[in-house]
Amino acid sequence: MKLSSPDLGHLTYCTNIHAGETWPDVLQNLKTYLPQAKAALSPDAPFGVGLRLSYVAAEALSDAETLSRFKSFLKENGLYVFTLNGFPYGEFHGQPVKEAVYLPDWRDSQRLTYSNTLADILAAILPDGVDGTISTVPGAFKPNVKTPADVTAMAQNMIRHVAHLVGLQILTGKAIALTLEPEPCCFIETIDETVHFFKDNLFSDNARSFLMSLTDLDDAGADEALCRHLGVCLDLCHAAVEFEDAREVVGKLRSANIPIGKMQISAGLRFAPVGDQTIGQLKPFEDAVYLHQTIASNNGTLTRYVDLKDAFEARSSGAIADEWRVHFHVPIFLDDLGDFATTQNFIREMLQLHKEQPISNHLEVETYTWNVLPEEYRNVDVVSAIVRELTWVRQQLAEI
């Protein structure tokens, strides 16, 4: 929904909370859940949608007649789409995903084709006067980036996508940005790594020259296009798990002139202190579907574990830490969970900064792990949880 304070932007939730990979499944989810959410949250005004489409669903929606019917559905129900989640390419629910969620990554032309398809769809359904964003993988899973050639390949495919977005804007008048989402154990996971990649690869002289070779843009136009069509999707769970400082995160990105196209409002798990009981407390959160990267801090020194089992093994072998933070998206209205806490305070800090000086025009709550959340933390229906999360955000922003 468009927040009442004009500068605070659009607020929604990501539909990746609902399992569904094919377009018929996605559409059925939208018909089931969105009208209920809108009735509770925005009964008298249009309600924004953060739409997740797999490659298979995007291909189906690209059909002109199917897309026309979807646009009619949105209009009839007072809905509008302003952002897409283009991170998971394939299956995302009900079977092991783990590090395969990053594939195909930005070294692969399949990722480029998928992102171009998403951009075409978004340009067709974006309301007039509203810019669009597409969130995507942060390059690749870090262990898969082995050579400078891998980095070059990722950057060049992203710039090829920018060329596509430039053409789309000329054709449709719709401005869309690809937003890279830093994540633990990925090629760009920290804000410092993010700034470095943008500075050296996406906003560089070589990037400008390459974009000019793909378009009719001159030097100034290419620089402007790179900044308009590339940015960051700032996931607050990921940043908190990385022990980032909220004000520094925003300051570093602004200093580097890197737009924060989308801010995903999400919370992770926080265990402090770490003791003999920690593994037992965390066991209910271990699942076979998603990676739950864990970062341990010991007197400020960080150690990264790709998944919970790796952290468990290290602890069992004697590794010492005074705090663990875990990439497991939990409902953002939760804070004190009894024996442990969440990273909710990081969200509070970031939303306060957003009130002081808007950070992003697109705010999206993303609690995709609903189906693997331990039962005691999902003792309400999913629509009630969504409504409670979005209401909590509005309360932090003094919107209600």
- Residue 256: CA atoms inside 13 Å, Cβ hemisphere, count? 24
Cis peptide before 88 (omega within 30 of 0): no
In which band, very low, low, confident or very high, does the pLDDT at 338 lie, cut at 50, 70 and 90? confident
Q: How confident is the model at residue 370 (pLDDT cuts 50, 70, 90)?
A: confident
- Per-residue model confidence as pLDDT tens digits over 142-192: 999 999 999 999 999 999 999 999 999 999 999 999 999 999 999 999 999
Q: How far apart are CA 326 and CA 157, in angstroms?
A: 31
Say what the pLDDT of residue 170 is. 98
- Please state, in angstroms and rounded to a whole number, the distance separating the CA atoms of residues 77 and 34: 9
* Nearest C-alpha neighbor of 231 from the set 202, 210, 207: 202
Confidence band for 135, pLDDT divided at 50, 70 and 90? very high
Taking a C-beta distance cutoff of 8 angstroms, is the pair 156, 204 a contact?
no
For 114, list phi and psi in degrees, rounded to 5. Answer: -60, -45
> CA–CA separation, 22 vs 316, rounded Å?
42
Of residues 173 and 335, more confidence is placed in 173
Query: What does the H/E/C string look like for 47-98?
Result: EEEEEECCHHHHHHHCCHHHHHHHHHHHHHCCEEEEEEECCCCCCCCCCCCH
Apex 274 CA angle, 301 and 339, nearest 5: 140
pLDDT of 4 higher than 90: no
CB 107 within 8 A of CB 150: yes
Helix (H, G, I), strand (E, B) or coil at 244: coil
d(CA 383, CA 380): 8
Domains and CATH numbers, the chain: 6-266+343-396 (3.20.20.150)
Q: Please, which residues bridge with residue 186 across strands?
A: 141
Judged by DSSP in three states, 399 sits in: coil
For residue 233, the Cα-to-chain-centroid distance in whole angstroms is 6
Place 397 in a pLDDT band, splitting at 50, 70 and 90.
very high
Residue 164: alpha-carbon gap to chain centroid:
21
The interaxial angle of helices 23-41 and 64-76, nearest 10 deg, is 20
Q: Say if residues 351 and 396 touch (Cβ distance below 8 Å).
A: yes
pTM for the full predicted model:
0.97
Determine the 3-state secondary structure of 30 from DSSP.
helix
The answer to whether 101 and 67 have CB atoms below 8 angstroms apart is no
Distance, CA of 177 to CA of 132 (rounded, Å): 6
Write down the pLDDT at residue 400.
64
Helices (H), the chain: 23-41, 55-61, 64-76, 109-125, 148-172, 191-197, 205-214, 219-229, 236-241, 246-255, 278-282, 308-316, 344-356, 382-396
The stretch 232-256 carries a mean pLDDT of 98
| Cα–Cα dist 12/244, whole Å | 24
Mean pLDDT, residues 225-233 taken together: 98
Going by pLDDT thresholds of 50, 70 and 90, the confidence category of residue 377 is confident
pLDDT in tens, 52-62: 999 999 999 99
HSE (CB half, 13 Å, CA atoms) of 360?
30
Q: Which two tokens stand for residue 346?
A: 């990081």
